[in-house]
Structure 1
Amino acid sequence: MNARTNAAREGREERAVSLDHFYDKLSSLAYGGDYNPEQWGPDVHAEDTELMREAGVNLVTLGIFAWATTEPTPGAWDFTWLDAHMDRLAAAGVSVCLATMTASPPPWLARLHPETLPVMEDGTRLHPGSRQHWCPSSPVYRRYAVRLVERLATRYADHPALALWHIGNEYGCHISRHCHCEVSAAAFRTWLRERYGTVDALNDAWSTTFWSQRYSTWEEIHTPRAAPSFRNPAQRADYWRFSSDELLAAYLAEKDVLARITPRLPVTTNFVPVAKTLDLFRWAPHLDVISYDSYPDPHDPDAAQRTAFSYDVMRGLKDGQPWLLLEQAPSAVNWRAHNGRKPPGRMRLDTWQAVAHGADAALFFQWRQSRGGAEKFHSAMVPHAGRETRTFREVTELGAELAAHPDLLRSSPARAEAALLLDWPAWWALETDAHPSEVDYLDGALAYHKALYEASVPCDVVPVDGDLSAYRLLLVPHLYAVSHEAAARLTEYVRAGGVLVMSYFSGITDEHDRVHLGGYPGPFRDLLGLTVEEFDPRPDGTWAEVTHLQGAEAVLDHDGGGPAITRHGYGAGTAWYVGLRPGPEALRELLDRVRAEAGVFPAAEGLPEGVQVRTRVTAAGERVRVRLDYRDGAVAVERGEQAAR
């Protein structure tokens, strides 16, 4: 593993880049979308310029899937098409977030180097014909990718349209668990050497005396490929860590080039809806600005809350800084079983939700709807039917509306008084096999977030090693795997006066998935004032436990007896334990009580169900409230005295 991969694993910040260059290109919130002019001819290009001006577009993402157009055969470069589009956009006053084009290699790379193709855990090799058909550990893929980025950065470093670099695209979206080829296995062994130092230390961490799995040399260790029965859970959790780090190392290989050739230009990549794939808190220091792709389902009644959760995560990745919404759908997507359109006004509501939660950009996939290919039925700002459509009318109206609030650009989202702890290593360890019952980490996080969201209580999302001192209330769902050091930080948070709510199946194992002995929940027993002797999951899927109080008071018992929800004063604070999965109404009732005791209140008083309010603070110190009404789709931007109420 090279120094870059090690930097990724340790999550070190490498440079601090000012975003002034990006923001200086904009006079208001960034508005536009993915632009793929290589799919069209000159007549359409001319119309695009006219329609972008009409719609108020000021930023497009260019070239994401253009590697094969730019390098149609190995080493035969063609930048003339891109030169023309960069010049045309600059003349039209449209800035460019230029992609490095490395998300989807040309077919010739697989023909010349089939070893760059990813391999599944059962040995199946994947092939071109889709996208992201590359092994993240492949030095050959990285060499060709870096060569392309060198050319792009050198050619466009000083182009007046260039505002921001976009590396790759949606890392981990399809290669979600990395690759199981021999190159990946060798990279995994190198990663493990750096993590553990010796095979004996690895054997201890992985508990390999169980099932005669003890390794005598590094060469015996592979990725967790298909096996007869349950695979080693610690190995699988480390493989998730490695996969996230190795994808990050591929990203950093490209970022290195950009930092050297265009040091003043900020760099980003677009994250997909919050998933197990990447430890975003480890990635965040390596993005100059966080970017995100959001695709709520119009048919999902919980879509707005799920989206709010993701936006709260994005805002939390850089301690509350504004972020960029780089993709959303104007109407329907193409990849669900039933791709419902967004009804009139929903695109506007969705966009303002992102702005309310801290977005400084509202871009779409894509500008013009493709005529062919796998995403031809994915909606776009300019639909197949063209300008005279509801979608384009709404796009134009929204562009004018966003431009009317220039002071929202780079305004600061108001910091919340409540936070939810999110931890990818705990997620990875929790969702291995052979546990007392299936526990869905993301489902638990969403449930706790929802109880605050429905009360219109702002909630930040923080890592286990983040600064917790500013929060009155901390929610900790399913922190299954936790080190003693992290547990001590949470304990100190409560001792200093914080209010903590911890869900069941937390504090069970250490960071290597070895059980904390002496009774559950391990290092949190003193904090919570109880010991869980046994888990007692029921046939109907409900969770119960055999719990002994050791200072805590029972607030609610399980059906059949025994404490289910407890409260324990600890130092200057209070620790709550929820030893069951309450229904949505019961959890809302509990957290309403807890947050009232903690002094955490809604963003505005007297809001009816279905109405959300979030606040941003401008550079001039003005508080701007965005009111989102999910009952009728109304949006109101409130300022001055009205916003302060």
Structure 2
Amino acid sequence: MREQMKQAEPGSYSKVQIGVDYYPEHWEEAMWEPDIKLMKETGVKVVRVAEFAWSRLEPVEGRFDFAWLDRALDLFHAYGIQVVIGTPTTTPPRWLTTACPDVLPVFADGSVYHPGVRGHRCYNSASLRTYGSRIIEALARRYSSHPAVIGWQTDNEFGMLDCHCDSCNRAFRSWVQAKYSTLERLNSEWGTVVWSGEYSSWEELTVPYGGSPHQNPSLLLDFQRFQWDSCIHFQRRQTEILRAVCPERFITHNFHSYPQRLDMHGLAEDLDVASFDYYPNPAPQKQATAPYSGALSLDLTRGLKRRNFWIMEQLSGPPGCWFPMWRTPHPGLIRAYAWQAIARGADTVVHFRWRSAAAGAEQFWHGLIDHSNVPGRRFAEFAQLCGEVNALAPLLEGTEVTSNAAILYSHEQMAALRIQPQADGLDYYDNIKQYHRALTKLGISCDVIDWRQPLEGYKLAIVPSLYLHDEEAAQRLESFAGNGGTVILTNRSGVKNMNNICLLQPLPGLFSRAAGVTVAEYDPVGHDIHMLVDAAGESFECSQWCDILQPEEAEPVAWYGDDFFAGSPAVTVNRFGAGKVYYIGTHASEAYWLKLLGGIAAEAGLAAFPDLPDGVQAFTRTGEKGELLFLLNLSRGTQSIGLDKHYRSALSGSLVSGIVELSPFAVEILETGV
């Protein structure tokens, strides 16, 4: 096992504060001090810099120019503002890509990911490893003791590149050899006998070049796993350098745009704290969904390290770059969504960006200050947020989100289900959105964690479509249920082994032991709407998939109401040890999930906040000093919410009880124990 290097102390990244992203290299130096002075006056505590600045830091090979960054960091320190430096490897400079074209990714059709944008770097490029390590080490040595620098961000917004260059081809062959050892085992584990795909020498093994997309699903899944490992190793080289040179500074990475195809949990292992770039869509037509998909993104980010996190980029104005500009944030939206992030466990929220760019592709990805260069309405709202967070920081310090429910998330399941789509409309992540939205509407706090993580401390585990599975996964859920936990399994579970090969056994495979049910037949109904009837005779819609269930030890709790399988069980529950295992054979409507989870919450003793109006969310952070209840109206309409006890408003100091009216995008933060 790889020896873990000592990670930074939490105190360096657990402060509750507001920050901004700033690019001193984009502006005349005469603008820096007025900007930083205004940041200080506004209440900004931290900035991120330099993640795209390689060409300014090393304008020609081997000649570093840190003088401009020295002056910027010294100014930030003079005004008491802390700094996170981004390693600049996401934007290799033109002198490097010209001299070493192996830095550039190559797509399956042979086209090249050219410079002039960002993200144009192959994780397996030997040249990038050499030159990237050199610039990172030089930066780390230069700023390891600078009093303003508190941490580092690796690269920027890692993503899947699907690179098919010669370096990746050789590396993939070595990766497969290391995993399977012999061609005989490889051919057996991938089932290459189908379509005469057997390998007779290692030289025949390549990355899955272009042509037909219908290639061996085991090859395609392992190619994705190889890319996950490539990205992890690319980042690991950076974290090893940073920890060797400046071990007291924390390291983070800014994940973005879920769902990500990456192994985010593997990447997060080498970080001190996870970060997320949060851009909720402010369009009116998105207001029904944005608050809930955003809550899922925040819970998923918290689940990467199973502790508090950072927002490294937060919406500050209408985005626009490779698409037409979004609507501008409605009054109150910037503040409300920043508080939503804090409520879900963000300690630091950094807004992108201080000022809208005057040049380049992101000119219309608006910052806090528009091209007028005059602070306006959005800036005033940001200033209000800074004042509130700075005032409440002592109350928030040391608090965290505590959940008794978990959703088990797996990038491997998502990858396999995308390689071979199972039914029209069946989308792994979209389905998780619905389960999480139901929990959020019920006020049930939920962690979203890697599917291999321990489940101690939870009362409920929702386990979506464990399409790939093994004995370890089955035993983990059996142990959890046997010790009193409630498990909810969904359809398309237990279909394949971990190499993406179908198993010749009744579904849901190894999970049938705990579920007490098998699947007699299934119908991929796609977008067709079918009916589900529960034990109370209430009807609900369902779609995507219909498992026709054959209970063994399990008891049916809902049945299909139509088609040739009318009357057949659709949902079952099985008592297993001291707990219960539900199996849901279809994709039931949100109304059904609300009813099911409401009943489970009452039975399992899950803390809930029922009857929340649409768009209103209730979250709690708890610490040694007590509990803080966040009430957020993330909608454009006034909403009312009832409280069952007395509170004190942390924002106003007034006593609050009974019916609370929340205006559009209103925030209330309540102290208990009044």
Q: TM-score range by the shorter chain?
A: over 0.9
2:667 aligned with 1:635: yes
2:427 aligned with 1:440: yes
Q: Indicate if the aligned counterparts of 1:481 and 1:508 stay in contact, CA closer than 8 A.
A: yes
Q: Which whole-Å CA distance do the structure 2 matches of 1:516 and 1:438 have between them?
A: 24
2:616 aligned with 1:611: yes
Q: 1:250 to 1:540 in 2, by over 3 A?
A: closer
Q: Indicate if the aligned counterparts of 2:422 and 2:524 stay in contact, CA closer than 8 A.
A: no
Aligned to 2:293: 306
Q: Which whole-Å CA distance do the structure 2 matches of 1:274 and 1:443 have between them?
A: 11
Q: Indicate if the aligned counterparts of 1:118 and 1:133 stay in contact, CA closer than 8 A.
A: yes
Kindly state the Cα deviation for residue 607 of structure 1 after the two structures are TM-superposed: 4.2
Cα deviation, 1:461-499, whole Å, max 9, x if unaligned, reads 122221212111110111111111111111221122111
Kindly state the Cα deviation for residue 407 of structure 1 after the two structures are TM-superposed: 2.0
Aligned to 2:547: 545
Q: Which whole-Å CA distance do the structure 2 matches of 1:402 and 1:513 have between them?
A: 48
2:242 aligned with 1:241: no
Residue correspondence of structure 1 range 481-560 to structure 2 within 5 A: 481-538=468-525, 540-541=527-528, 542=543, 543-558=545-560, 559-560=562-563
2:176 aligned with 1:154: no
Aligned to 1:322: 308
Q: Indicate if the aligned counterparts of 1:444 and 1:478 stay in contact, CA closer than 8 A.
A: no
Aligned to 1:212: 196
2:612 aligned with 1:625: no
Query: 1:593 pairs with 590, 594, 599, which one?
Result: 599
- AA aligned to 2:166 is E
2:16 aligned with 1:15: no
Kindly state the Cα deviation for residue 138 of structure 1 after the two structures are TM-superposed: 0.3
TM-score (norm 2): 0.89
Aligned to 2:569: 563
Query: 2:253 pairs with 269, 286, 292, which one?
Result: 269
Aligned to 1:573: 579
Query: 2:344 pairs with 353, 357, 370, which one?
Result: 357
Kindly state the Cα deviation for residue 629 of structure 1 after the two structures are TM-superposed: 1.9
How much identity, in percent, do the aligned residues show?
Answer: 34
Q: Indicate if the aligned counterparts of 1:498 and 1:572 stay in contact, CA closer than 8 A.
A: yes
Aligned to 1:346: 333
- AA aligned to 1:532 is V
Q: SS state of the match for residue 59, structure 2?
A: coil
2:382 aligned with 1:395: yes
Cα deviation, 1:301-343, whole Å, max 9, x if unaligned, reads 2111111111111111222x21111101112111444511110
- AA aligned to 1:18 is E
Aligned to 2:590: 584
Q: Which whole-Å CA distance do the structure 2 matches of 1:49 and 1:435 have between them?
A: 53
TM-score (norm 1): 0.93
Q: SS state of the match for residue 325, structure 1?
A: strand
- AA aligned to 1:119 is V
Larger deviation, residues 232-241 vs 220-229: 220-229
Q: Which whole-Å CA distance do the structure 2 matches of 1:606 and 1:553 have between them?
A: 29
2:91 aligned with 1:112: no
Runs of 4+ deviating beyond 6 Å: none
Aligned to 1:255: 239
- AA aligned to 2:552 is Q
Aligned to 2:215: 231
Q: Indicate if the aligned counterparts of 1:383 and 1:392 stay in contact, CA closer than 8 A.
A: no
Q: Which whole-Å CA distance do the structure 2 matches of 1:609 and 1:116 have between them?
A: 48
Q: 1:437 to 1:381 in 2, by over 3 A?
A: closer
Kindly state the Cα deviation for residue 437 of structure 1 after the two structures are TM-superposed: 5.3
Q: Which whole-Å CA distance do the structure 1 matches of 2:388 and 2:527 have between them?
A: 50
Q: SS state of the match for residue 570, structure 2?
A: strand
Alpha carbon RMSD of aligned pairs, Å?
A: 1.8
Q: Indicate if the aligned counterparts of 1:169 and 1:270 stay in contact, CA closer than 8 A.
A: yes
Query: 2:62 pairs with 64, 67, 75, which one?
Result: 75
Q: Would you say how many aligned residue pairs link Structure 1 and Structure 2?
A: 623
Kindly state the Cα deviation for residue 197 of structure 1 after the two structures are TM-superposed: 2.3
Q: 1:367 to 1:414 in 2, by over 3 A?
A: same
Q: Indicate if the aligned counterparts of 1:121 and 1:225 stay in contact, CA closer than 8 A.
A: yes
Q: 1:281 to 1:388 in 2, by over 3 A?
A: closer
Aligned to 1:3: none
2:31 aligned with 1:44: yes
Q: Which whole-Å CA distance do the structure 1 matches of 2:526 and 2:308 have between them?
A: 45
Q: 1:539 to 1:239 in 2, by over 3 A?
A: closer
Aligned to 1:478: 465
Q: Which whole-Å CA distance do the structure 1 matches of 2:634 and 2:276 have between them?
A: 22
Kindly state the Cα deviation for residue 13 of structure 1 after the two structures are TM-superposed: 4.1
Q: Which runs of 5+ in 1 are unaligned?
A: 1-5
Q: Which whole-Å CA distance do the structure 2 matches of 1:66 and 1:586 have between them?
A: 51
Kindly state the Cα deviation for residue 252 of structure 1 after the two structures are TM-superposed: 1.1
Q: Which runs of 5+ in 2 are unaligned?
A: 529-542, 636-663
| Structure with greater proportional strand content | 2
Larger deviation, residues 430-439 vs 73-82: 430-439
Aligned to 1:191: 175
Kindly state the Cα deviation for residue 253 of structure 1 after the two structures are TM-superposed: 1.2
Larger deviation, residues 466-475 vs 622-631: 622-631
Q: Which whole-Å CA distance do the structure 2 matches of 1:436 and 1:607 have between them?
A: 33
Cα deviation, 1:67-103, whole Å, max 9, x if unaligned, reads 0111111112111111100111100111100111111
Kindly state the Cα deviation for residue 397 of structure 1 after the two structures are TM-superposed: 1.2
Kindly state the Cα deviation for residue 153 of structure 1 after the two structures are TM-superposed: 0.9
- AA aligned to 2:599 is R
Q: 1:398 to 1:39 in 2, by over 3 A?
A: same
Q: 1:73 to 1:229 in 2, by over 3 A?
A: closer
Q: Which whole-Å CA distance do the structure 2 matches of 1:545 and 1:502 have between them?
A: 12
Q: SS state of the match for residue 293, structure 1?
A: strand
Q: 1:465 to 1:59 in 2, by over 3 A?
A: same
Q: Which whole-Å CA distance do the structure 1 matches of 2:314 and 2:83 have between them?
A: 18
- AA aligned to 1:633 is F
- AA aligned to 1:391 is R
Kindly state the Cα deviation for residue 249 of structure 1 after the two structures are TM-superposed: 1.0
Q: 1:140 to 1:399 in 2, by over 3 A?
A: same
- AA aligned to 1:402 is V
